[in-house]
């Protein structure tokens, strides 16, 4: 894809996100990534770089606890919005973008607790047409926190019984946000659940039942291709 330059801001503690996302992207794409875990890891002059698309990844961190890098990332998100650069947030990244542009009151710990597994998500009629997907799709979930208020002018694309805001788009602010993780295919997603067995079992989830399922679509291809098609 010509004239597209992607930056992945990887907030994941295990640094799994970058490789997983890159595997979903076109092979000839110009992609860079930064692992963000400290204040020093976030470059002061990053806004001067000529990226066209920014991906904010998921993380085991909670949006309700400020991280060492939070202030610098929030400033960067706001500057990107002012420049009209497209941003995509995934789970923690989705929550981070909304917190930066709406305020801390826009995120919270979900009163429904831990959402984990291959979960059904209901898409709006418009998002079905935009993404060429079914009304209900099964996609990877692993989160305790959620967004409860979107940036002004946003359109809700998807929801489910656990979390009202599962996906949205904002054409004016150039934002795409998803609570779920489109980057995880069946193999990678189920391996993650197996690695996370103790946490899941401590929260009364049956790991064997979870890994018996899988995604209903190639979510990585669908959502990242759609994001990359958005232009300033």
Strands 30-35 and 5-10: parallel
How far apart, in whole angstroms, are the C-alpha atoms of residue 62 and residue 204? 20
In degrees, rounded to 5, the angle at the alpha carbon of residue 190 between the alpha carbons of residues 188 and 193 is: 115
The mean pLDDT of the chain is 97
Q: What is the pLDDT of residue 2?
A: 74
- Measuring CA to CA, how many Å separate 143 from each of 45, 52, 59, 105, 117? 31, 28, 9, 18, 10
Q: How many CB atoms lie within 10 A of CB 38?
A: 10
Q: pLDDT digit string (tens) for 10-69?
A: 999 999 999 999 999 999 999 999 999 999 999 999 999 999 999 999 999 999 999 999
Contact 69, 92 (CB under 8 A): no
Angle separating helix axes 92-101 and 70-83, nearest 10 degrees: 70
Q: pLDDT digit string (tens) for 71-121?
A: 999 999 999 999 999 999 999 999 999 999 999 999 999 999 999 999 999
In degrees, rounded to 5, the angle at the alpha carbon of residue 33 between the alpha carbons of residues 65 and 57 is: 40
Cβ partners under 8 Å of residue 138, min gap 6: 118, 119, 120, 121, 213, 214, 215, 216
In degrees, rounded to 5, the angle at the alpha carbon of residue 100 between the alpha carbons of residues 26 and 65 is: 100
Q: pLDDT digit string (tens) for 123-163?
A: 999 999 999 999 999 999 999 999 999 999 999 999 999 99
- The residue extents of the domains of the chain are 5-228
The CATH number assigned to the domain with range 5-228 reads: 3.40.50.880
Under the banding of pLDDT at 50, 70 and 90, the label for residue 1 is: low
Residues taking part in catalysis = 91, 181, 183
């Amino acid at each position: 894809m010509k004239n597209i330059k992607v930056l992945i801001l990887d907030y994941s503690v295990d640094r799994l996100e970058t490789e997983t996302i890159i595997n979903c992207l076109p092979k000839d794409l110009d992609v860079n990534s930064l692992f963000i875990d400290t204040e020093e890891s976030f470059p002061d002059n990053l806004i001067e770089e000529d990226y066209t698309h920014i991906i904010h990844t998921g993380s085991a961190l909670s949006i309700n606890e400020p991280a060492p890098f939070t202030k610098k990332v929030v400033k960067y998100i706001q500057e990107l919005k002012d420049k009209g650069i497209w941003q995509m947030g995934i789970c923690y990244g989705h929550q981070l973008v909304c917190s930066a542009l709406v305020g801390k009151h826009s995120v919270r710990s979900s009163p429904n607790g831990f959402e984990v597994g291959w979960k059904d998500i209901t898409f709006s009629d418009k998002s079905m047409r935009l993404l060429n997907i079914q009304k209900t799709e099964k996609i990877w979930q692993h989160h305790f926190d959620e967004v409860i208020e979107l940036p002004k002018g946003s359109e809700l694309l998807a929801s489910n019984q656990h979390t009202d805001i599962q996906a949205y788009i904002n054409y004016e602010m150039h934002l795409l946000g998803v609570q779920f993780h489109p980057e995880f295919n069946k193999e990678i997603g189920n391996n993650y659940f197996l690695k996370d067995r103790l946490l899941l079992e401590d929260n009364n989830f049956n790991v064997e039942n979870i890994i018996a399922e899988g995604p209903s679509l190639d979510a990585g291809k669908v959502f990242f291709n759609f994001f990359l098609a958005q232009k300033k």
